[in-house]
Amino acid sequence: EEGNVLHKTLERFLGKHLNEKLPKYSFDQLWEELKQDFQDVTNDFVANGKVPQNEMWTADQNRLLNTLKRWLRYEYDMQNKWDFVPYALEWDFSSKNGRPLRMTLDDGRSFSIGGRIDRIDKNGDKLFVTDYKLSSTPGTNDLKNAIDLQMPIYILSAGKQKDKEIVGGGYLSLKYTKRGPNVKLDDSQTIPFATKYAEYLKLAGDIVVGEDGSLITEGAQLYYELVNSTGRVVINNMLD
């Protein structure tokens, strides 16, 4: 449950700081706030029997607090380097909210993909997607080799918002306090940790559907088969 504890803590903390820069507050003030959010979340997990209340969990809590403090320092410093601010958390793209990602093949077959994006940052009408991982993230070449499907789907989904432009996305490892791989779709200098890849949005669609309208990866084929058998497919947050 470590990943879920961190995930819920960050959701609670950043949920109070949407559309604003963290550096407007002192680091110490934010750290006290984040520690309290962590304590509240862990208390809920213990009360619901999701984690044991024993010496081992006490040691794990100290380690997770260190992870959160490194994240906060990284986030605090990074927000001084780019113009984006947290805009949406746990952004749901599903049939329930009327905004699933609908994919149509050249032969007329279509299917919908639903999921939940950990975090979307905004700079004016520009959006950047972030997916948290507890430790490891996909490799830099995974997208080009059509191995990673999660980020292409997230970027395509976020990019369908009205009056908004998706300009990039990527992963953030909480354990290593490191972003990557990341991609930006324009020449913006305010995304210092992402490499420009102007054709990524087209590539994202091609990875999922295929340039010739076929499902070119086993992952995409699995998505299509799941839709046929269940009527829908949902991508859950994956904190590995």
pLDDT of 168 reads 82
Dihedral class, residue 150 (left if φ above 0, else alpha if ψ from -120 to 50, else beta): alpha
CA–CA dist 237, 4 (Å, integer): 9
pLDDT of 195 reads 52
pLDDT of 51 reads 82
**Strand duo 195-196 + 178-184: pairing:** parallel
CA–CA dist 200, 185 (Å, integer): 7
* DSSP, res 97: G
**198, 186 Cβ separation under 8 angstroms:** yes
For residue range 139-168, list pLDDT tens digits in order.
Answer: 777 755 656 778 878 888 888 777 888 888
